[in-house]
């Protein structure tokens, strides 16, 4: 059994895999991350390895004090990946985007792939059918858009995400919901349509914390999987063990 740890910007995701089967998953805060991991290890005594990828506040040294009975591995830019990185600034490409690209290549061979990750930021990553990573885009996620409207104006309220009732909001709150949610939906559909017009043999993978919330609002047929990063981290670890 393998413990997979994805350290994000605002939260930490934990998952236990047995080969390619997801056994359990937890989302935890930074406040109690060590206790949460120790509890998972106690409940799943067959775990022998742990793999970590971090874009957040925790680094390699933070995990070395974990249960000495397991071996801790780190996926970094020096790890092996099943694609050729053609990014103009490869050293600046986030490890989370690299892992998503690896998962897309390993799960969907011989296809053009667009991976859309709806997290704190929305990232778009394109890997062609020849397994070349070409790049993508980064834009603010749902929470960042709501917070920006509140923090950088004098009177707009801070709202929680909500599906707008109409395209044209008839109140300030509904106008904000429409601008944020419909704006993101149209943005995503725009990226997808542009890629579909240029390429065939194409698959779109939607993942991240807000994937299920937005999936039904998108016009295009997509493969929505909120656990895709965790699955991709598991597969990237297995790829590096071969």
To the query of whether residue 96 is one of the catalytic residues in this protein, the response is: yes
Q: Is 140 exposed, middle or buried (0-12, 13-18, 19+ CB in 10 A)?
A: middle
For the chain, counts of helices (H) and of strands (E): 8, 11
In the structure encoding, which two tokens stand for residue 27, read together?
């989302």
Q: How many CB atoms lie within 10 A of CB 68?
A: 8
* Cα Rg of the chain (Å, integer): 19
Rounded-to-integer distance, Cα 155 and Cα 151, Å: 9
**C-beta separation of 224 from 212 below 8 A:** yes
Beta sheet of 84-85, edge-to-edge order:
84-85, 132-140, 121-127, 112-118, 202-207, 223-224
Please report which helix (H) or strand (E) contains residue 208, including its range: none
- For strand 2-7 and strand 49-54, is the pairing parallel, antiparallel, or unpaired? parallel
Catalytic residue from among 6, 20, 96, 189? 96
Q: Is 163 helix (H, G, I), strand (E, B) or coil?
A: coil
Which CA distances in Å does 124 have to 20, 94, 134, 192?
25, 12, 11, 10
Active site residues: 96
């Amino acid at each position: 059994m393998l413990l997979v740890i994805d350290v994000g910007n605002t939260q930490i995701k934990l998952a236990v895999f047995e080969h390619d089967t997801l056994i359990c998953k937890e989302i935890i805060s930074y406040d109690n991350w060590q206790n949460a991991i120790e509890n998972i290890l106690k409940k799943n005594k067959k775990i022998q390895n742990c793999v970590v990828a971090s874009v957040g506040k925790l680094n390699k040294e933070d995990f070395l004090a974990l249960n000495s009975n397991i071996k801790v591995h780190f996926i970094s830019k020096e790890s092996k990946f099943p694609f050729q990185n053609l990014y103009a600034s490869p050293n600046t490409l986030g490890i989370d985007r690299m892992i998503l690209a690896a998962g897309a290549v390993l799960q969907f061979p011989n296809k053009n792939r667009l991976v859309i990750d709806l997290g704190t930021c929305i990232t778009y990553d394109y890997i062609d059918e020849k397994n070349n990573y070409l790049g993508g885009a980064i834009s603010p996620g749902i929470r960042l858009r709501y917070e920006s409207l509140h923090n950088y104006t004098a009177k707009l309220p801070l709202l929680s995400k909500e599906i707008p009732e109409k395209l044209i909001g008839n109140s300030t709150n509904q106008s904000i919901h429409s601008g944020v949610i419909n704006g993101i939906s149209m943005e995503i559909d725009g990226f997808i349509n542009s890629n579909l017009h240029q390429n065939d043999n194409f698959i779109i993978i939607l993942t991240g914390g807000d994937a299920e919330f937005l999936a039904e609002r998108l016009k295009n047929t997509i493969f929505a999987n909120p656990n895709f990063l965790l699955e991709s981290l598991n597969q990237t670890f297995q790829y590096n063990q071969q």
